[in-house]
Structure 1
Amino acid sequence: MELHVYKKPDKKWDNFVNRNSPLIFHTRIWQRVLSKGFKNGQSLYYTLEDNSGEIVLALPGVLLNFRLFNVFYSLPASYGGFIGDYRYIKKFFSVWYDEIINEEIDYIQITESPFRPLSLNDFSYDVITTVVHIMRIENLTKDKLWKGYKKTVRRMIRKAKKSNVKISKISSREEVPIFYRMYLESMKRNRAPVKYPVDLYYAIYDELVLKNKAQILFAKIDGNYIAGLIYILSNGIIHYFAGGSFTKYLKLCPNDMLFHSAIEHGIENKCRYFDFMASPKDDTNLQRYKAKWGSKSLELSTYTKEINKKRCLIMKIARYVSNTTIGRKFIEHFRKMAR
């Protein structure tokens, strides 16, 4: 068995993923999204291969360079984790350490997939637990979907319709900044750090929306943009990726209208699941919002390990202050430095 690392995976990678994972996040097209979206990132796709050159186990990821420390994410902004035959996990870790040193990785973060979870508790990793909500939509019709909603959900959607809220798909690249302004306002309103740069949303539009592998929906009233939602399509799964809204229009329930439309699109695309993706474990309001649609919750593990203790201390400090006004300004300044 030999360990290989690819900075630009080829068709061999996609053939392996097609046999072992339904997730678009594990494919080369998502690698291109991340490469364009994170200017300080370098793709690192590790593979454990047998004597014939066949991949038996793989770990896709991105190395993000923050000047003072390097973080290996599997994968940022999505699910990552191992793909393939889990019996080779121990062998993988036994040969991976030298590669970690060669790439000067200071911190490792591996987010598992809820569609094929894997525990790394036996390998001395710390665990961050989040909550993911998944709704089964297989064999649903739009009529069955509507009848299955709680009364409160139907009431919110009716309110949006009566307020003349209309849903439309993005029509040009020039609309991406509009969505990003909504996203920024939502993060500010929720006192949450801005995780993703606008480049990531441009990359999603260029690489996914134009190829019918994702969609950006807008809620409008009288032609004015009031809210937006991005979903991404995997094999049989529709993922809610991001959303945003302008605060003064929230009383019109545009977000409920957007989620209802996105779930309907999942039915149209013959998806089996609508994935609301992860929520912080302490954000019960967000969890309740996702649960009200009829989804089921399960815990999702992100495994972390500090390689360089001193440099990781800097990252801990940054995380500690990230929910403050000063902290958000610091992170934004730091992100600009890393570009």
Structure 2
Amino acid sequence: MELVINKILNEEDFELYLKTVESFDIINPFYKLLASNIEELLNDKLRYFTLKNDDGEVLVLMPFILRKVPYLEDGQVYYDVISPYGYSGPLFNQDMSRGHLITFWKLVDEWYKANNIISEFVRFSLNHNFQFYSGVLIPTLSNVRGAILDEETQWSNLKQKVRTNYRKGASNELRADIVDGVKPEDVERFYRIYISTMKRVNADTDYFYSLDYFKNIARLSKGKILITFIYKDDTPISTELILISGNTLYSYLGGTLMDFFNLRPNDFLKVEVMKWARKRNFKYYNLGGGRVDFDSLYSYKKSFFPNDEDVIFYTGRKIIDKEVYDKLDKIMNAEVYLEKEEVMEEENDSKISFFPAYRRNAFNR
């Protein structure tokens, strides 16, 4: 067995990465969006591990971002590893011997120790690809994933307020346009609604993606993408970008124009997506979770699938060098207010405590 560390520095590197990803049986769409954030590509941060057998066949692939820790000690440079945004972790075929995962994590940890990697944070996929993880596995967020059922059963399973809101949308003559051959002009139409929504809700800067980011998603997804628009007359008032993987639709990002909230276009949109999915034999519609478990956003999503069991999103946390980790924590957070320090020390819920701790000061992220 051989562990190879691959860089993605240009289009040719990325095409090789995509070719390797596409050699697997079932591909989560987030693996293909790896280079949609051009900033990470230009800054030489993108890497991916491949575990190869003696015949050179790739058994396991895992993308990651290598980050330099913003602190030097006696000229020593330290790094940490974080998975790209979205569902990630190791990619492998389901018929592969799980013993190879043990080998994979063993070789990864050896590489970390040899290359001054202090910590690792992994966002795993929803298919239990965290098996044999060598760090600490954290059940982080409940994801609402609903089965696509026959129309009558699906309708009766919706919460009453969803049915009421859908009827209101229909009575106001809303209509859905679900685009499955996404063109640049569709992305631009989506982006106008999306970015206005981010401004309205004062979203974190991390969510102010560029138009090029979404155009790259459309290009890299190679047809595994939908954009749903809800129209009032000739005006698009609500939208959702959806990624496709196997028999599952993944709600990714979207938005709604504030002036049309009273028409309930969001509820109308999701029910229309279910109708579209049913006709095309999709089995699941994944709406994701809240900002934290069981908040108002989660409750809203759950109203569409109140009878379905949630899927747990797991993250992995690993400290490779505890001595250096603790030293960095103390030094890099020296200016954090005392009361914030006390909150973090008292916080026993590892689901919400910041990791790695030495980056919890915003200036160090």
CA RMSD of aligned residues (A): 3.7
Aligned equivalent of 1:234:
245
Distance in 2 between residues matched to 1:11 and 1:259, nearest whole Å: 31
Alignment partner of 1:296: what SS?
coil
From the superposition, tell whether residues 72 and 180 of structure 1 become closer, same or farther in structure 2 (CA, over 3 Å).
farther
- 2:61 aligned with 1:58, yes or no? yes
Structure 1 unpaired stretches of 5+: 321-329
Aligned equivalent of 1:299:
312
- 2:104 aligned with 1:92, yes or no? yes
- 2:191 aligned with 1:177, yes or no? yes
Distance in 2 between residues matched to 1:64 and 1:259, nearest whole Å: 38
- 2:82 aligned with 1:73, yes or no? yes
Aligned equivalent of 2:21:
14
Aligned equivalent of 1:48:
51
Distance in 2 between residues matched to 1:268 and 1:96, nearest whole Å: 43
How many residue pairs are counted as aligned between the two chains?
A: 314
- CA shift, 1:214, in A, is 0.7
Distance in 2 between residues matched to 1:238 and 1:311, nearest whole Å: 41
State percent identity of aligned pairs: 18
1:230-258 Cα deviation digits (max 9, x unpaired): 10111111111112223343222111112
The code of the aligned residue for 2:235 comes to N
Aligned equivalent of 1:325:
none
Larger helix proportion of the pair: 1
- 2:170 aligned with 1:161, yes or no? yes
State which structure, 1 or 2, has the greater radius of gyration over its C-alpha atoms. 2
Of 149, 158, 162, 2:158 maps to 149
The code of the aligned residue for 1:167 comes to A
- CA shift, 1:217, in A, is 1.9
Aligned pairs (5 A) from 1:1-339: 1-7=1-7, 8=13, 9-10=16-17, 13-14=20-21, 16-18=23-25, 21-26=26-31, 29-34=32-37, 40=43, 42-63=45-66, 72-84=81-93, 85-100=97-112, 105-119=117-131, 123-125=134-136, 127=138, 129-137=140-148, 140-142=149-151, 144-168=153-177, 169=179, 172=185, 173-185=187-199, 187-188=201-202, 194-195=206-207, 197-198=209-210, 199-208=212-221, 211-294=222-305, 295-306=308-319, 309=325
* TM-score, scaled relative to structure 2: 0.71
From the superposition, tell whether residues 224 and 128 of structure 1 become closer, same or farther in structure 2 (CA, over 3 Å).
same
The code of the aligned residue for 1:118 comes to F
From the superposition, tell whether residues 161 and 70 of structure 1 become closer, same or farther in structure 2 (CA, over 3 Å).
farther
Structure 2 unpaired stretches of 5+: 8-12, 72-77, 344-360
- CA shift, 1:260, in A, is 1.5
Shifted more, 250-259 versus 176-185: the winner is 176-185
Aligned equivalent of 2:75:
none
The code of the aligned residue for 2:275 comes to E
Alignment partner of 1:3: what SS?
strand
The code of the aligned residue for 1:57 comes to V
Distance in 2 between residues matched to 1:239 and 1:118, nearest whole Å: 20
- CA shift, 1:291, in A, is 1.5
CA contact (8 A) 2:47 2:66 kept: yes
